[in-house]
Structure 1
Amino acid sequence: MQRPRATTTRPAATASRGVATRTEETAHDRTSIDDEDIGAALRRRLARDDALPPNAVAVAIDRGVATLSGTVPHLPAARRARAIAASTRGVVDVVSRIEVRGAARGDETLEDEVRRAIQLDPAMADRAIEIEVHDSVVTLRSVVGTLTEARLAEEIAGSVRGVRAVQNDLQLEPMGDPTDEQIRAAVLARIERDVRIDPAGIDVMVDDGTVALSGVVGSVAERDVAHELAEVSGARVIDPHALEVQWWTRDTLRRDATPLDDGRITSAVRDTITNDPRVRAPNLAIGVTSGLATLRGIVPSAYARASATEDALNVVGVRRVGDQLQVQTDAVENGELQQRVAERLAASAWTSESEIDVEAREGRVTLRGTVPSRFLERAARDVATRIVGVREVADEIALEEDVEPLEDWELAAEVQSGLEWNPFLDRMNVQVTASEGVATLRGEVDDVRAFREAEREAEAAGALEVVNELSIRAVESVAPRTPAPVRIE
């Protein structure tokens, strides 16, 4: 599959040489963006996305609210379109009316594959979840400990090819009985230590386990992060409706530049990993020195290892992770493990049409084959990682040879546009150069999330390879915050 080429106008002289620069002076400098401009940018971002069918999603913008409609072949595609809209500057809310119309596969088949997917996922394998499928809609019933576990189960069920929707009827039985004050303190702590969100404009109120988020965030995607971070033990309902999106406020909400000591960062990393149900390794040795977080110890799966690394990178003050974790899991016979991975790749909505060979040896899984995009390569690797018995995944997947690179000036302009419309890349000074399909990024960004977002934008723009030479601002911090008393109406 060849990337559909977005229509562009040839940029000015610097970009015509494959160079583009985004500075604070060229960034949006007003507190409103025309609906027409937002719509044009979002359509462009959707059109260039390799994972979505061309012209599948229609966009309408009304006072910053993006309404998506159209038809996609599976549920993850609808979720991805919604995520792209949520991560577009100027969008203040997203209404998805996208319909899922994939090939019918039969309710019994879907029930078996959803059950198998949950049983093979390291984070959910020990959960006895009741599954019912009617007209390709999956209903989940059981008891879980946190809203995060309920969300993970819903995500797994929705990843199966042929599922049109997921009805999540999972019930909560949290460990212990935390008070509203304890729940609020836990939510505030998670928000303040997470690099993906600016905490200064957010307030939290808790009433009988219902967590109400209010204040201001810079994007719909940031509001989504706040929702996830509020899924602490004891939280039964998350209400983010009073959390207003004002994209232009992100600069004023930037974190304090007061240095954090290594001990505080270490404690934050430990708390984040310990409370992640995907990891399940409470006794890891964690140390932080000058922004480098080193993780040592035993984890139960390759998925736990990847999740622990992700958790550490999301902590304020961490700029790099030294992963010295070891995976120890119950041994699975080579043929059985190979079958598990091949089975999940065939059932997964993203990878079901890819021809990927699987080899398993003593817990190490090797993937080989060709795919049309880096996104689908990552999707295959992620599927293999999230299987019980996998200790390591070796990715030898190649891109199809008929992928035609953009011209240098066009690639630089596409990357520039992506940076301009990404809500997490404010206050940047980034230079983009392009040569034979390779995009190189130079300059300074505020934090790890901006570093990764810039790289993703370059990849989404059509770069066959991204050389990320961005530096991360050395100091990130939040001022200490004392939780206010809980108000109970």
Structure 2
Amino acid sequence: MTGVVDVREDQRIQRDVLAQLAWDAQLQPNEIGVRVDQGVVTLTGFVDGAARSWAATRSAQRVEGVRAVADEIEVRLPGTPGRTDAEVALAASRALEWDSFVPAERLDVTVANGWLMLRGEVEFGWQRRAAEGELRRLDGVRGLTNLIEVRPPAAAVADRLRRDVQRALMRTLGAERVTVEVDGDTLVLAGVVRSWWEREQVERVAWSAPGVRAVHDQILVGG
């Protein structure tokens, strides 16, 4: 009987993921294929930019019951001449400069065949995430590797950091099932949340804490 229940649940997840993808204005109808096996979603198909692939993955992660997402979507830039690597690099530099929360002068972007390599240092984890988010949306980007290091201006006090993050999680999500431990300047998150969206929000809160250089996310997505 369990096998029948699993199959029905996978079918339900597949329908919900397809509906979520169709609802997402960043994606074109019927350009993404969806397979589901025991809650693991595999996305296939072709899109014209890394931003669309990223959007599809994020949409699938928001669906209840999804345990993991395998992104097998292929990025195929349009056949007409698109941006050169030099043009993508220039657009990336300008995007970072226009974002007043990102220290563009401390970051370096290189581009090869539409793939961005992002290096440098920032003081806060949310700046690292913001820089990546800005560049993923650019036309002509096939993918991105984020090698930015987080170097806090001051060392965090472990007990206070743990309390502050736990309180922030309670305010935003009421996340009683998430535990926070501190190892030097690294936060270790554990526990179980109901959805990938909740997991993402927990990680966002953790990266926003002053003094955090790294976040080890061991949170599971379950019921």
Change (3 A) 1:32 1:204: farther
Q: Is the 8 A contact 1:198 1:217 kept in 2?
A: no
Aligned residue for 2:71, secondary structure, equals strand
Q: Is the 8 A contact 1:86 1:221 kept in 2?
A: yes
Q: Is the 8 A contact 1:183 1:209 kept in 2?
A: no
User: Structure 1 residue 48: deviation in Å?
Assistant: 3.7
Alignment of 1:184-195 (within 5 A): 184-194=162-172
Aligned residue for 1:223, secondary structure, equals helix
Looking at secondary structure, tell me which structure has more helix per residue. 2
1: CA distance, partners of 2:220 / 2:103: 37
1: CA distance, partners of 2:196 / 2:175: 15
Aligned residue for 2:86, secondary structure, equals helix
Alpha-carbon RMSD:
2.1
Instruction: With the length of structure 1 as denominator, give the TM-score of the two structures.
Output: 0.42
Structure 2 match to 1:279:
none
Aligned pair 1:211/2:187, yes or no? yes
- Could you report, residue by residue, the CA deviation over 1:195-228 in whole angstroms, capped at 9, with x for unpaired residues? xx23111111121222221111110111011111
Structure 2 match to 1:233:
210
Structure 2 match to 1:284:
none
2: CA distance, partners of 1:172 / 1:43: 37
1: CA distance, partners of 2:101 / 2:136: 16
Alignment of 1:372-451 (within 5 A): none
Change (3 A) 1:59 1:207: same
Structure 2 match to 1:86:
61
Change (3 A) 1:168 1:162: same
2: CA distance, partners of 1:33 / 1:224: 27
Alignment of 1:133-282 (within 5 A): 133-194=111-172, 197-231=173-207, 232-241=209-218, 243-247=219-223
Larger Rg belongs to = 1
Alignment of 1:452-463 (within 5 A): none
In the alignment, residue 96 of structure 2 is paired with which amino acid?
A: I
User: Structure 1 residue 182: deviation in Å?
Assistant: 3.0
Q: Is the 8 A contact 2:51 2:136 kept in 1?
A: yes
In the alignment, residue 220 of structure 1 is paired with which amino acid?
A: W
Alignment of 1:59-98 (within 5 A): 59-98=34-73
Alignment of 1:351-390 (within 5 A): none
Change (3 A) 1:31 1:40: closer
User: Structure 1 residue 111: deviation in Å?
Assistant: 0.6
Aligned pair 1:118/2:96, yes or no? yes
In the alignment, residue 57 of structure 1 is paired with which amino acid?
A: I
In the alignment, residue 239 of structure 1 is paired with which amino acid?
A: H
User: Structure 1 residue 32: deviation in Å?
Assistant: 10
Structure 1, 119-128 or 230-239: larger mean CA deviation: 119-128
- Could you report, residue by residue, the CA deviation over 1:161-198 in whole angstroms, capped at 9, with x for unpaired residues? 0011111111222121113323322221221111xx23
User: Structure 1 residue 33: deviation in Å?
Assistant: 6.2
Aligned pair 1:46/2:27, yes or no? no
Report sequence identity in percent: 28
Tell me how many residue pairs correspond in the alignment: 215
1: CA distance, partners of 2:57 / 2:212: 25
Aligned residue for 2:72, secondary structure, equals strand
User: Structure 1 residue 69: deviation in Å?
Assistant: 1.9
2: CA distance, partners of 1:60 / 1:198: 32
Q: Is the 8 A contact 2:150 2:214 kept in 1?
A: no
In the alignment, residue 238 of structure 1 is paired with which amino acid?
A: V
In the alignment, residue 175 of structure 2 is paired with which amino acid?
A: P
Q: Is the 8 A contact 1:38 1:89 kept in 2?
A: yes
Select 2:86's aligned residue among 91, 108, 112: 108
Q: Is the 8 A contact 1:201 1:217 kept in 2?
A: yes
Structure 1 unaligned residues grouped into runs of 5+: 1-29, 248-489
